[in-house]
Structure 1
Amino acid sequence: MTEPYPKPRDDAPLVVFDFDYTLYDGDSGSHLFASLIKGNPLRMLAALLATPILGPLVAMLPTRRTGISGYVWIATFGMHRVREFNIVIDRYVLRHEAELRARLLPQALEVFAAHRAQGDRVVVATGAPPELARAILAFVAHQDVPVIGSEVGPRLGAVAATRHCHNEEKMRMLRERGYGDIDIAYSDSTADLPLLLAARAPVVVNPKRAKVDFFRRVLPGGTRILNWGCVDRGGERAA
């Protein structure tokens, strides 16, 4: 059986894609955890009771990760192993297939597939759980692409991130796996500035409109700032 994409050479260009708001329209992890909470009355009650505390933490950038971690703990309480968490992810993805497929950005997938077709080494580096990104990419036959994401483990009767694939840590995780010499990087987020600056050719896609001028200031002149179909985001739209 013929493989749909050529196997990349070891010296092929390395192309790194973020996932949320780059290949996927939205925050895939937040969608997962919100679904787990809403699907269980006890978790929903716990989230409502905790929101007066967690809500303000999420609203403020310095404490946002702490607030989000609280909701993640509520969403995963009772899970004790990573394998158990991954099974829950796979069930969630299958149950919400139509909705998740609709969130994959066609223009982004065209670029993604074009890099693979020309033999580039393509890697996804995301703050989301890696099993979630892999399962969603499987809908469009890209499940074999390496995915580096936030690592999770048991904590206080639930599952929590033990290592966030975020900001400088994302670069460390890429380098540890041999992906340090980056030719092209695609991301929407200022949190991925270390990744974009490390790439020979950074490409900003679907940025928040308020961040477009910031990217123009800090990235090399001529850096492309594109919109791949996120209607409420900035960037130059394709004709």
Structure 2
Amino acid sequence: MTDERKEGGLALFDMDGTLLPWDTQYVFSCFVVQRHPWRRLLLLFYLACLPLFFLGIWDETRMKRAFLCYLWRLPPETVLQYGREFAELADAWVYPELRERLQRHRNSGDACIMVSASPSFYAEPLGMLLGFDAVLGTDVALDGRMPLMPELPLGNNKGKVKVERLRNMGVLPESGIREGSIAYSDSAADVPMLLACGRQVLVNPSRKLKENARLDGAECLYPPTPWKNSLGKKWKIALFVIGMISISGK
């Protein structure tokens, strides 16, 4: 990103649930296990780890590493290739309203950055397809064939970590709010990023997020979702995890 971009307007976009409906980590696992059906068995390892999370022994970062077990023994070039192929599919799932907002910011000369907790190996190619100036995802170590629990060198790109990385890039000030900035998100985890910007846009926010006093005055967008209720959403997520939904049309 050029210095001129850093000094002008700024638009930050979360990805999952904001630019597109799903938590793409589940959809990407579906993408992989449909190509390697036996890899469904690897997800039993993740299920076995869940009690460690519920007991507070493991945190979200370690659970994210455990969920990536379905990539076990894949060479890094295959993971990167799958990431590029998946990004081309995910491009079609972006909410039209959010795509239009992004284009509007680009036309205005704003620096547009996608900031996601999803793995960089598909978040980055998707962000480039959408025309973002930069993409910050959760970096996954790709040093050789994938271990059962891949390392995340910079940690889980979520919550305060997003703000820290944006500050390290020089696009957010060390304290206070950047002038001419706006952040889009659907998640309460992104409150630190939302509050670091002058304007906030909430996408299909939960009641709790919408009623957060610190976000008073935030704009809300309600693009239509591919589920009717929370139960339907959870059911589809479960089917994604075990590779039982064709993702060509979402």
RMSD of equivalent CA atoms: 3.1
Shift of 1:41: 3.2
Q: Which residue of 2 aligns with 1:171?
A: 163
How big is each residue's C-alpha offset from its partner over 1:209-229, in whole Å with a ceiling of 9 and x where there is no partner? 3xx244423324312222133
Indicate how the Cα distance of structure 1 residues 205 and 25 shifts in structure 2: closer, same or farther if over 3 A, else same: same
Map 1:29-68 to 2 at 5 A: 29-47=25-43, 49-50=44-45, 52-55=47-50, 63-68=59-64
- Corresponding residue of 2:100: 110
Which residue is 2:83 aligned to? 89
Cα distance change, pair 60–132 in 1 and its aligned pair in 2 (3 A):
farther
Q: 1:52 to 1:75 in 2, by over 3 A?
A: closer
Residues 225 and 85 from structure 1, CA distance in 2 versus in 1: closer, same or farther, beyond 3 angstroms? Answer: same
- Shift of the alpha carbon at 1:24? 1.4
Q: Deviations over 1:59-109 (max 9, x none)?
A: 78975544442220x22111454x553223123445xx3xx2442110000
Does structure 1 residue 145 correspond to structure 2 residue 133?
Answer: yes
Structure 2: runs of 5+ lacking an equivalent:
230-250
SS in 2 for 1:149: strand
> Counterpart of 2:40 in structure 1: which amino acid?
M
Aligned partner letter, 1:53: A
User: Could you tell me the TM-score, scaled by structure 2's length?
Assistant: 0.73
For 1:18, the aligned partner's letter is D
1:184·1:200 contact (CA, 8 Å) conserved in 2?
Answer: yes
The match for 2:192 is 194
- 1:200 is matched by which residue type in structure 2? G
C-alpha contact 1:26 1:103 (8 A) present in aligned 2 = no
Cα shift readout 1:196-219 (whole Å, capped 9, x = no counterpart) = 111111221122x3xx24442332
Q: Is the 8 A contact 1:29 1:128 kept in 2?
A: yes
State whether residues 79 and 154 of structure 1, in contact with CA within 8 Å, keep that contact through their aligned partners in structure 2. Answer: no
Q: Shift in Å at residue 117 of structure 1?
A: 0.4
How many residues align structurally? 216
Q: Which amino acid aligns with 1:117?
A: N
Q: TM-score, normalised by structure 1?
A: 0.76
Contact 1:134 1:143 in 2 (8 A): no
CA distance change for structure 1 residues 130 and 45 in 2, over 3 Å: closer, same or farther? closer
Counterparts of 1:108 and 1:60 in 2: how far apart (Å)? 38
| Matching residue of 2:217 | 222
- Does the C-alpha gap of structure 1 residues 176 and 34 become closer, same or farther in structure 2, counting only changes over 3 Å? same
- Asked which structure has the greater RCO (Cα within 8 Å, sep 6+), the reply is 2
Distance 2:121 2:47 in 1: 31
| Distance in 1 of aligned mates of 2:60 and 2:222 | 26
The match for 1:124 among 110, 114, 118 is 114
The code of the aligned residue for 1:149 comes to G
Equivalent AA in structure 1 for residue 130 of structure 2: H
Deviation larger for 60-69 or 108-117: 60-69
Structure 1 residue runs without a partner (length 5+): 1-6, 235-239
| 1:21/1:230 contact within 8 Å kept | no
Q: 3-state DSSP class of the match of 2:162? A: helix
CA contact (8 A) 1:19 1:126 kept: yes
